[in-house]
Amino acid sequence: MEIPVELKHHKTISAGHKGLTEPLLVRWLLTGVALIFLSLFLFVPLTALFTQAFEKGAGAYFAAIREPDALSAVRLTLLTAAISVPLNLVFGVAAAWAIAKFQFPGKSLLITLIDLPFSVSPVISGLIYVLLFGLQGWLGPWLDLHDIKIIFAVPGIVLATIFVTFPFIARELIPLMQAQGNDEEEAALVLGAKGLQTFFRVTLPNIKWGLTYGVILCNARAMGEFGAVSVVSGHIRGFTNTIPLHVEILYNEYNYAAAFAVASLLACLALVTLVAKSIVEWKLKVSN
C-alpha cells in the first residue's frame, strides 16, 4: 500500500518529488511508531474498558447500571451539568461580548484570569470551596448556624463543577467574535435594530457553531469531573455521588465488572463528544 504525500494547498507541486518527502520505508516506520504509541495509550485501553464492562455478560452490565445507587449518581450528574453548563454559557457570551467587541484597559489580564481555572489542579479547585464553606472555613460557622449545607452536599458539587468548567465557552467565543469584528452588528444598529435584537438575529447566528463547540466541551467536563468534586462531595452513596465518584467506589470495592460497566457510560459520553466535536469543527470550517 502506497502512502502518498499530500502538501496542502500546493497540489501543483509534484507529490513524488524526491526532496519533499521521505523514502517509503521511513514513511512506513514513522506511521507505524506513531500508531503503536497511540495504541498503547488510547486504543488498547479503550477496547479493554468495554471488554471489562461486559466481562460478566450483558445481564450483569445492565444490572450494574440500573442499580439504585448508580441511577442516583446519573441523576446527580445530569443535575450538576444542567445547572453549571447554562450558567457558564451566559457568562461565556457576556464575557465574549465585552472582550471581543470593545477596547478597554486590562483586557488581556481579564482573559488570563478567565483561563485561570484551567491551570489550577482539580484538587485545589475543590479545596478552595472547602476553605470557604467548610466547617473550618470562613462562612462555615454561619452556614452551620442557619442549617445550610454546601460542602459534602449538592451545592458544593455544583460550585466545584462550575469552577472547573468556567473557561470553556468564553475561550471558544472570544477569538471567534474577535475575528468576526463589529461590522454586521453596527449595520444592524444603523438599520434600527435594538441591542438584544442585534444579538439574537445577527451575532447569535454567526457564533452558533462556536457556541455549540464550547457547550459540548463544557458538558463533557461537567459530567466527568472527578478531582474537584471528590474533595467537596463527602462520598455519601445515593446522595452526593456523581457517576465518576460511583465508579471509584465500585472499583475500590473490587467490583470491577460493575465499575467498568458504569465507566462505560462515561466512555460513551466521551465518544459522542468526540463525534459531535468533529461535526462542529467541520461546520465551523465550512461557515468560515
Partner 1 sequence: MRLKGFKIEGGVLPGFGPTLGYTVFYLSLIVLIPLSALVFKATSLSWHEFLAEVTSARVMASYRLTFGTAFLAALVNAVFGVMVAWVLVRYRFPGRKVIDAMVDLPFALPTAVAGITLATVYSGNGWIGRYLEPLGVKVAYTPLGILVAMTFIGLPFVVRTVQPVLEELEAEVEEAAVCLGANRLQAFRLVLFPTILPALLTGFALAFARAVGEYGSIIFIAGNMPMVSEITPLLIITKLEQYDYSGATAVASVMLGASFIMLFTINLLQWWSRRYTGK
Site for partner 1 in 54-83 (CB under 8 A): none
Is residue 160 within 8 Å of 225, Cβ to Cβ? yes
Q: Does 280 bind partner 1 (CB under 8 A)?
A: no
Cα dihedral angle (232, 236, 240, 243), rounded to 10 degrees?
100
Nearer to partner 1, 68 or 104 (CB): 104
CB-CB contact of 169 with 86 (8 Å): no
Closest contact distance (angstroms) between CB of 62 and partner 1 is: 19
Among 72, 256, 283, 284, binds partner 1 (CB under 8 A): 256
> Measured between alpha carbons, how far is 63 from 126 in angstroms, rounded to an integer?
32
**Contact stretch for partner 1 (CB under 8 A) within 66-74, 100-108, 144-152, 206-214:** 100-108
Distance between CA atoms of residues 54 and 69, nearest Å: 19
How far apart CA 53 and CA 251 sit, in angstroms, is: 12
Question: Which residues between 141 and 180 bind partner 1 (CB under 8 A)?
Answer: 159, 162-163, 166
CB 23, min distance to partner 1, A: 8
Residue choice 61, 129, 152, 213 for contact with partner 1 (CB under 8 A): 129
CB of 78 to partner 1, least distance (A): 14
Coil, strand or helix at 137: coil
Least gap, CB of 53 to partner 1 (angstroms): 10
Q: Which three cell numbers stand for residue 138?
A: 470562613
16 contacts partner 1 (rule: CB under 8 A): no
Q: How far is C-alpha 17 from the chain's CA centre?
A: 43
* Chain residues 173-232 in contact with partner 1, contact rule CB under 8 A: 182, 185-186, 189-190, 195, 198-199, 217, 220, 223-227, 230-231
What would the DSSP string read from start to end of 185-204? HHHHHHTT--HHHHIIIIIH
For partner 1, which stretch binds (CB under 8 A), given 63-71, 87-95, 142-150, 206-214?
87-95
Which one of residues 245, 257, 261, 280 is an interface residue with partner 1 (CB under 8 A)?
245
Q: Which three cell numbers stand for residue 126?
A: 475543590
CB atoms within 10 A of CB 22: 13
Answer yes or no whether residue 288 interacts with partner 1 by CB under 8 A: no
Which residue in 110, 149, 155, 239 binds partner 1 (CB under 8 A)? 110
Among 71, 94, 179, 236, binds partner 1 (CB under 8 A): 94
Stretch that binds partner 1, among 61-69, 102-110, 141-149, 206-214 (CB under 8 A): 102-110
- In 3D space, the residue among 153, 84, 155 whose CA is nearest the CA of residue 117 turns out to be 84
Answer for which of 98, 148, 179, 204 binds partner 1 (CB under 8 A) is 98
Alpha-carbon distance of 285 to 215, in angstroms, equals 18
Assess 24 for contact with partner 1 (CB under 8 A). no
Interacting residues of 190 by C-beta distance below 8 A, sequence separation 6+: none
Closest CB to partner 1 among 21 and 72? 21
